[in-house]
Each structure stands twice: as structure tokens, then as C-alpha cells.
């Protein structure tokens, strides 16, 4: 019999995100990835609010760019998959048109915000953020030198594919941390 575990909210979120990232790089089941990501994201978001931290990008700051009369519609759309996968009593639809890339945005934001709250940057979080940035360089406004470095390295990163990147880069991150 295993002893009970004492786990903080942020530790739970970290464990969930680490599991999600492993699932993501092994091309795991997208609904499970999204559901677990949303759980971790919401923990980090709630703890951040309690601590007076800056708002998270996807579910909070994005509303700054949406007209107030569309806030509810925007939130509903953003949370649609999360709620569909968790509840059967909130909607009457039997199916959903789900884009798994939505999970990637939430993972990226959750990892970034976790670091802001804890100043801890776990290796799997570093791994995911590097992969995400290499795949979405056009979305980032980076300092010139960093932008050039990412553009130079991105093709090699992408050529590895998800699992190859995981298998190649994670051991290097772990080695650097030692």
C-alpha cells in the first residue's frame, strides 16, 4: 500500500503538465491531452489570481482585445472543448468540432505562467516551449539575436519530428541542468 502524498496545487499542476507534455510528444490521445491541460491551466490561473500575479494570456489577457459585449461568447468558445469533455449536463450537442492545436496554446501559456509563479522551469516545460516556438516563430516578437538563432535552428528541430525532438533534446536539457 502506498502512503498518502502531500501535494500542493502548483505541484499538481506541474505533474499534470509534465504528463501532458509526455503525451503530446508521443502523439497521445488529444482529448485526454486537452482535458489534463485545462485542469493544470485552471489551477495555475486560480493560484496566480490568489497571489495577485499578472493575468494569463489565453483566458485573461485575450479579453483585452475583445469588445465587452463579446466577452461571454469568446469565453464560451474558448472553454467549449474543455466543458464538452468534462460535462454531459451543460450542452445538448453530441459532438464537437475540436482543434487539438488549442491545447498547445494552453500548454505554452501554463508553462510560462508556472515559471512566473515559482521561478522553476522544469525540463519538460523547456522542451515544450522550444518545440512550440520553433513551430510558431512568426508569432513571436523576439530580440534580434534570439530571433536569428531560432530561425537558424528551427529547421533542424522540426526535421526531428515530435518524438525525435523529445528523444534528442530532453537528454541534453537534463545534462545541462546537472
Identify whether residues 105 and 22 lie together within a single domain: yes
Identify whether residues 115 and 144 lie together within a single domain: no
Start-to-end Cα distance in the chain:
33
Its domain, for residue 48, covers 1-120
Tell me: the pLDDT tens digits for 115-163?
A: 999 999 999 999 999 999 999 888 888 888 888 888 888 888 889 999 9
Identify whether residues 79 and 95 lie together within a single domain: yes
Identify whether residues 132 and 112 lie together within a single domain: no
Identify whether residues 125 and 109 lie together within a single domain: no
Tell me which of 72, 104, 120 is where a domain ends. 120
Domain count, the chain: 2
Tell me which of 94, 120, 146 is where a domain ends. 120
Q: What's this model's pTM, rounded to 2 decimal places?
A: 0.88
Q: Are the C-beta atoms of residues 167 and 131 closer than 8 Å to each other? A: no
Tell me: the pLDDT tens digits for 7-48?
A: 999 999 999 999 999 999 999 999 999 999 999 999 999 999
Identify whether residues 55 and 76 lie together within a single domain: yes
Q: Are the C-beta atoms of residues 150 and 142 closer than 8 Å to each other? A: yes
Measured from the Cβ of residue 134, the count of other Cβ atoms closer than 10 Å reads: 18
Identify whether residues 80 and 126 lie together within a single domain: no
- Strand, helix or coil at 53? coil
The predicted structure's pLDDT at residue 105 = 92
Identify whether residues 167 and 86 lie together within a single domain: no
The predicted structure's pLDDT at residue 91 = 63
Residue 89 has pLDDT above 80, yes or no: no
Confidence category of residue 178, pLDDT binned at 50, 70, 90: low
pLDDT, greater one: 56 or 30: 30
Identify whether residues 126 and 108 lie together within a single domain: no
Identify whether residues 109 and 151 lie together within a single domain: no
Identify whether residues 4 and 74 lie together within a single domain: yes
Amino acid at each position: 500500500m502506498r502512503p498518502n502524498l502531500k501535494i500542493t496545487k502548483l505541484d499538481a499542476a506541474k505533474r499534470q503538465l509534465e504528463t501532458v507534455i509526455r503525451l503530446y510528444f508521443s502523439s497521445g490521445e488529444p482529448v485526454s491531452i486537452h482535458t489534463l491541460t485545462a485542469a493544470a491551466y485552471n489551477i495555475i490561473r486560480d493560484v496566480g489570481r490568489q497571489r495577485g500575479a499578472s493575468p494569463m494570456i489565453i483566458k485573461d489577457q485575450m479579453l483585452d482585445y475583445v469588445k465587452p459585449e463579446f466577452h461571454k461568447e469568446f469565453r464560451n468558445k474558448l472553454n467549449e472543448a474543455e466543458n464538452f469533455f468534462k460535462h454531459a449536463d451543460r450542452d445538448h450537442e453530441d459532438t464537437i468540432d475540436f482543434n487539438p492545436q488549442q491545447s498547445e496554446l494552453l500548454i505554452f501559456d501554463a508553462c510560462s505562467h508556472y515559471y512566473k509563479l515559482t521561478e522553476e522551469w522544469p525540463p519538460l516545460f523547456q522542451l515544450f516551449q522550444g518545440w512550440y516556438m520553433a513551430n510558431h516563430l512568426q508569432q513571436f516578437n523576439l530580440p534580434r539575436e534570439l530571433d536569428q538563432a531560432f530561425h537558424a535552428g528551427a529547421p533542424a528541430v522540426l526535421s526531428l519530428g515530435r518524438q525525435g525532438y523529445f528523444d534528442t533534446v530532453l537528454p541534453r536539457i537534463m545534462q545541462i541542468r546537472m
